[in-house]
Chains A and B, each alone.
Chain A
């Protein structure tokens, strides 16, 4: 049963991938994509080939990787913090990336530096929160409260920047909402190492996350070094989320709702939940992005807005059914 569900979610992710490649201002058929990408007989003209290989394919891969990274990050944090509201926001990823990214965008006026600056900001904020919460080990509630406080502090910085540089607010807003337009191979290169290493590390720790669910004392009694595992997993979640956020902006919603949805569909065994969440994240972002850029074509809707509008009601529907 679980295997069938995972298979279906996986198929949805693959369907989302192809949907994203075929749909847009220029339609390209699946057969043409197969032929072109898998080295078969080239059946599309040069313009379409350029669109496919240099615009749609990288953008779709970015969408897929961002979906995987954010949903795994959220799934990890829900296990580590034992709190249903835990998501990449909680450990300061969004506020840190936001402040540094927007600072560079507005004050330094350098769009190339936005990505690395956002990444550094996200990791610094996560590390700061973790250090502030550390007192003879880590207690989730302290992380969450320190996270709220640090995020509020950094959020004030973001607001101040938006007010002092109000002429550049539009760009900053677009980035804060999160979007995938004009994402290219260079962004794939930024994301890919984190996706591969992060996914690998996360899947290896699935059983440890299961044991963490039983409570700290039980977990320790079963031989788990709770503080060590928490620290490593939090760092993994931070890297996964920071890599995604620095590329596509503050796409916060995926990290909270996708893992919960996967849990409602698949149950809470992390050996099943993690692959499910990864597939679901990839499916949600690729499909949402396809709609975001085609619904009001030629105007593009930032994918973050569409995702929240469609995803939140769907999540509430699942939640009501479950309760």
Chain B
């Protein structure tokens, strides 16, 4: 499905965050949102899924304004994994993942075979099948993140939005999450839009990158072409080295802040 942001402007608490942002998210691809803290990445992500409704401009899905589609219908198409979340202490992994079926339930309906299949599938994709009866609170950080990811996958979204999915995870679990996302994208052609902080993750695990700076899109397109040492110095005021690893991928290594960063 075609997700387009048109003339998005937003002000939060008197501070203008985004001004006239236009972007067409490529269907079936993974797009990484990159930018300094406060550049408006999470804000843009929240606008795309109506978590932030106080913006001007429009977000359209196949030409239809998401505000007219409505939250309930939108949640059958689009899933979001926000950073701010909570679950009661005794929630099991399976219960948490089952919440992903909430948008698809009728008001009086019960648990259908389709719901069961989607939950099972989400647990498999996130390798949590053996953990389904564990309490979410007893999981490690990486497992917990996979459990929340599984909840959004059980939603069977065509578009999946992820707000910093690897924050607070160790390097192995970061890669694990990025691999699951790549897997989902490949298997179901799910459009993925994710806020990332790690430049190399963006280079390795996304098809498109969108860089925000000074309320606007600074650059957008192929991550391998755009995410260079030069971009880093312009966007983050950071000096970086570039080298090529054994697999032939170019790796960017930030070294120090440039003086203009102060």
Contact = CB atoms under 8 A, between A and B. Distances in A.
Interface of A: 82, 136, 204, 207, 210-211, 213-218, 220-225, 267-269
B40 interface: no
Counting from the closest, the 10 A-B pairs by CB-CB distance are A223-B75, A268-B88, A217-B82, A221-B80, A223-B103, A223-B72, A215-B86, A215-B85, A267-B90, A222-B102
A77 to B, nearest CB: 16
B89 interface: yes
B95 interface: yes
Contacts of A267: 88, 90
Given A136-B54, A223-B76, A268-B91, A218 B100 contact: no
A223 B85 contact: no
A214 B86 contact: yes
Interface string B70-109: 0111111001111011111111000100011011010100
B51 interface: yes
A307 to B, nearest CB: 27
B49 interface: yes
Contacts of A222: 75, 99-100, 102-103, 155
B95 A218 contact: no
**Majority SS at the chain B contact face:** loop
A215 B88 contact: no
Contacts of A218: 80, 82, 84-86, 99
A211 B85 CA distance: 11
Contacts of A224: 71, 102
B21 interface: no
18 contacts: A207-B102, A213-B87, A214-B86, A215-B82, A215-B84, A215-B86, A217-B46, A217-B85, A218-B80, A221-B51, A221-B80, A221-B81, A221-B152, A222-B102, A223-B73, A223-B103, A267-B88, A268-B90
Contacts of A210: 99
**Most chain B C-beta atoms within 10 Å of own C-beta, residue among A204, A218, A220:** A218
B71 A214 contact: no
Given A216-B84, A267-B88, 17 more contacts: A136-B54, A207-B105, A213-B86, A214-B85, A214-B87, A214-B99, A217-B80, A218-B84, A220-B50, A220-B51, A221-B79, A221-B152, A222-B99, A222-B102, A222-B103, A223-B103, A268-B91
Nearest to A82: B86
B95 A221 contact: no
Contacts of B75: 221-223
B96 to A, nearest CB: 8
Nearest to B155: A222
Interface string B208-241: 0000000000000000000000000000000000
A298 to B, nearest CB: 46
Nearest to B96: A214
Contacts of A207: 102, 105
Contacts of B86: 82, 213-215, 218
Given A213-B87, A214-B85, A267-B90, A221 B49 contact: yes
Contact of A223 (B46, B82, B88, B102): B102
A221 B78 CA distance: 8
B100 to A, nearest CB: 7
A199 B82 CA distance: 33
B91 A221 contact: no
B88 A211 contact: no
Nearest to A269: B95
A223 B71 contact: yes
Nearest to A222: B102
Nearest to A217: B82
Contacts of B82: 215, 217-218, 221
Nearest to A213: B88
Interface string B47-77: 0011100100000000000000001111110
A225 B71 contact: yes
Given A217-B80, A223-B74, A269-B95, A211 B102 contact: yes
A214 B80 CA distance: 13
A210 B95 CA distance: 10
Nearest to A208: B102
Contacts of B74: 223
A82 B87 CA distance: 11
A213 B100 CA distance: 14
Contacts of A136: 54
A222 B74 CA distance: 9
Interface in B98-155: 99-100, 102-103, 105, 107, 152, 155
A210 to B, nearest CB: 7
